[in-house]
């Protein structure tokens, strides 16, 4: 045994303690995944060494045959996993094994409920990794040395998975990492060759690296113990290089779990090999759940990049646009050089061609999911819909395709679920309808009950109800779909085109003409509060509404800009009134200018509240309303 020096005891990061406790108590029904996770980590370590050795061949130290070995000792009740990959220094061991350095940790911890079944799904979203060892072990020893460092710079990390861990410097002859799991009482089943072999075949057959188990052979004469021979138990070939016809769904699913560090199956995947002007293979996955850092646009993202089967880069973000950052997968190119870097990727015209093709492939995969598995697509939209809404602004070339994948709530639903596609909307549009109508707002209840929808309800015209914070920004980039333009029902002077009969239009013109005097009185009373006053064609039940000028910012966008501290350009609403409403008739007959002014301002403030806006002078509104109530009760 190596002599240990510089031994110290350190405490786990708080999040690690919580995660350890959660995994030990939540994943008891799926204990065997510990081996999958540790093999995935070992595979990543070997990939990293292979890449670094391209520019520093000395790192291989003569041991160029890269592999993973799994062994067991029934008497000692241990399982050992060893790789000859990149290895860890003392600092690496403290950093990687003592803390969770993944973005989204705080959010992850915030979502924990104490319900073991629910929380085990959260672990899947977060990634289990090294700590899964403690599901079956009550003590874990890690012996490691980073490639390129001296044998005297090895590290021994040890913990019982409680509050702290020990770390010491040791001599270690070979580079790489050896993990020894001291099995808990009752977990002896894992110290068995047949059991380990089955787990490896089930979860890690796709690993493009030999995974070896010991094969006992008869002892030679004079020897006490039989000699150990090692045999490879997995295919050890890159999954994406094999023909699709040879790969089972289970293999695709396990490969996804390996690259995504997730333990839920993906929703869908697409495996493709391109030959011709460009040559590359791709295997792309749509996850079933969103990661916690989905809305952190600067968080690590992207595909695993291989060049001629050699791992080059994790999270190569140049192959897909930002709105598809949730896609996981692998791309393996024959046309890139092995010394490619992120900076080179950003300037390479080959990448632009690949990015365009891979983006279309993802969008095709999502179209297929929406068409063939509408319930699954509904789940996809709940998880990734807001990110997909970034697409029309970022990807002009695919704007129509992305628009077809968007889902919205509408007046034809009653629960606010975003399930209406634009193709569905147009399929049930009224005869003669050449526009797609929508309304934005802060909440579903607010937009569903908005006075702006009254004429649409009367005529049975469907309106899309948009309540996500990104929606107004989205609609500024989404001008039309399938030749039909979008119309915000709260903006400008509403024109229903062919949906209004000539009689309706003529009657509206006559009413507007008859109310010109009231329009002028209201303009005088409301003064600087409004840009314009006019008779409304939108209202059937409410006395008044506020419309937005054609070129003005909507309320939703104004609130977002104000919340971020940006200066918002001044704009005034358009006051529209319903001439048939009893309150407007009373107002028209009001002789007192003072009373007329008070009533006008009350109607204006009520319209602002109905639109979801805040009042500029709430005290004045309350004063006028109280004055009116006193008069009515007198």
As beta bridge partners, residue 283 has 271, 330
Which element (helix H / strand E) includes 546? Answer: strand 544-547
How many CB atoms sit inside 10 A of residue 566's CB? 9
Instruction: Supply the angle between the helices 33-55 and 193-203 in degrees, to the nearest 10.
Output: 70
pLDDT at 105: 47
Give the residue among 312, 306, 354, 366 at the shortest CA–CA distance from 330: 306
Residues in the chain with pLDDT values less than 50: 1, 101-105, 120, 124-127
- Locate 369 and state its tokens: 């999911």
Determine the pLDDT at residue 581: 92
φ, ψ dihedrals at 226, nearest 5°: -70, 145
Position 124 scores a pLDDT of: 47
What pLDDT, on a 0 to 100 scale, did the predictor assign at position 101? 44
Write down the CATH superfamily of domain 502-633: Heat shock protein 90, C-terminal domain (1.20.120.790)
Task: Locate all alpha helices (DSSP H) within 415-489, ordered by sequence.
Answer: 422-427, 444-448, 454-459, 471-475
Provide the whole-model pTM: 0.76
pLDDT score for 103:
40
- Locate the domains of the chain by residue range: 5-237, 240-381, 402-498, 502-633
Degrees, nearest 5: CA angle 281-350-299:
75
At the second CATH level, the architecture of 240-381 is 2-Layer Sandwich (3.30)
Q: What dotted CATH number matches 402-498?
A: 3.40.50.11260
- Domain 5-237 falls in which CATH fold? Heat Shock Protein 90 (3.30.565)
Helices (H), 407-495: 422-427, 444-448, 454-459, 471-475
Q: What is the DSSP string of 321-365?
A: -GGGTT-EEEEEESSS-TT--HHHHHH-HHHHHHHHHHHHHHHHH
């Amino acid at each position: 045994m190596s002599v240990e020096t510089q031994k110290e005891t350190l405490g786990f990061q708080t999040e690690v303690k919580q995660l350890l406790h959660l995994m030990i108590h939540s994943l008891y029904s799926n204990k065997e995944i510990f081996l999958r996770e540790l093999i995935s980590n070992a595979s990543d370590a070997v990939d990293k060494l292979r890449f670094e050795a391209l520019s520093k061949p000395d790192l291989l130290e003569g041991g160029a045959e890269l592999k993973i070995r799994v062994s067991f000792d029934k008497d000692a009740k241990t399982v050992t996993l060893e790789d000859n990959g990149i290895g860890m220094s003392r600092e690496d061991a403290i950093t990687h094994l003592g803390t969770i350095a993944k973005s989204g940790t705080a959010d992850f911890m915030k979502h924990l409920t104490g319900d073991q079944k629910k929380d085990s799904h959260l672990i899947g979203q977060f990634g289990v990794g090294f700590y899964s060892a403690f599901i079956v072990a009550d003590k874990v020893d890690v012996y490691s040395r980073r490639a390129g460092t001296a044998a005297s710079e090895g590290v021994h990390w040890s913990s019982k998975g409680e509050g702290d861990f020990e770390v010491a410097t040791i001599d270690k002859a070979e580079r790489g990492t050896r993990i020894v799991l001291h099995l808990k009482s009752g977990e002896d089943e894992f110290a068995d060759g047949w059991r380990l072999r089955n787990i490896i075949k089930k979860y890690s057959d796709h690993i493009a690296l030999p995974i070896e188990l010991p094969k006992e052979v008869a002892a030679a004469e004079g020897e006490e113990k039989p000699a150990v021979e090692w045999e490879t138990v997995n295919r050890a070939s890159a999954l994406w290089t094999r023909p699709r016809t040879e790969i089972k769904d289970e293999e695709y699913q396990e490969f996804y779990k390996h690259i995504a560090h997730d333990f839920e199956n993906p929703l869908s995947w697409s495996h493709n090999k391109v030959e011709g002007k460009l040559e590359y293979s791709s295997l792309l996955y749509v996850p079933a759940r969103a990661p916690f850092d989905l809305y952190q646009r600067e968080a690590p993202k992207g595909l695993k990049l291989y060049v001629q089967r050699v791992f080059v880069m994790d999270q190569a973000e140049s192959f897909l646009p930002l709105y598809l950052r949730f896609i996981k997968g692998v791309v393996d190119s024959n046309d890139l050089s092995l010394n490619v870097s992120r900076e080179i990727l950003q300037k390479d015209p080959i990448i632009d061609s690949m990015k365009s093709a891979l983006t279309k492939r993802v969008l095709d995969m999502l179209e297929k999911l929406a068409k063939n598995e509408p319930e699954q697509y509904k789940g996809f939209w709940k998880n990734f819909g807001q990110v997909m809404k970034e697409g029309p602004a970022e990807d002009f070339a695919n704007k129509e395709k992305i628009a077809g994948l968007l889902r919205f709530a509408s007046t034809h639903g009653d629960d606010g679920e975003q399930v209406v596609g634009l193709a569905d909307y147009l399929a049930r549009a009224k005869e003669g309808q050449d526009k797609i109508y929508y309304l934005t707002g802060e909440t579903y209840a607010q937009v569903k009950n908005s006075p702006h929808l009254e004429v649409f309800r009367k005529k049975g015209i469907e309106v899309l109800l948009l309540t996500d914070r990104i929606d107004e920004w989205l609609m500024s980039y989404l001008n039309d779909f399938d030749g039909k333009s979008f119309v915000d029902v709260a903006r400008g002077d509403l024109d229903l085109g062919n949906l209004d009969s000539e009689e309706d239009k003529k009657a509206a013109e006559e009413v507007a003409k008859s109310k010109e005097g009231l329009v002028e009185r209201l303009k005088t009373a409301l003064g600087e509060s409004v840009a314009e006053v006019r008779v409304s064609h939108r209202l059937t039940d409410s006395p008044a509404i506020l419309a937005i000028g054609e070129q003005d910012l909507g309320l939703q966008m104004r609130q977002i800009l104000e919340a971020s501290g940006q200066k918002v350009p001044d704009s005034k609403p358009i006051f529209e009134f319903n001439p048939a409403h009893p309150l407007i008739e009373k107002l028209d007959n009001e002789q007192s200018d003072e009373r007329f002014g008070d009533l006008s301002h009350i109607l204006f403030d009520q319209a602002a509240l109905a639109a979801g806006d805040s009042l500029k002078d709430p005290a004045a509104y309350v004063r006028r309303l109280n004055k009116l109530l006193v008069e009515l009760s007198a």
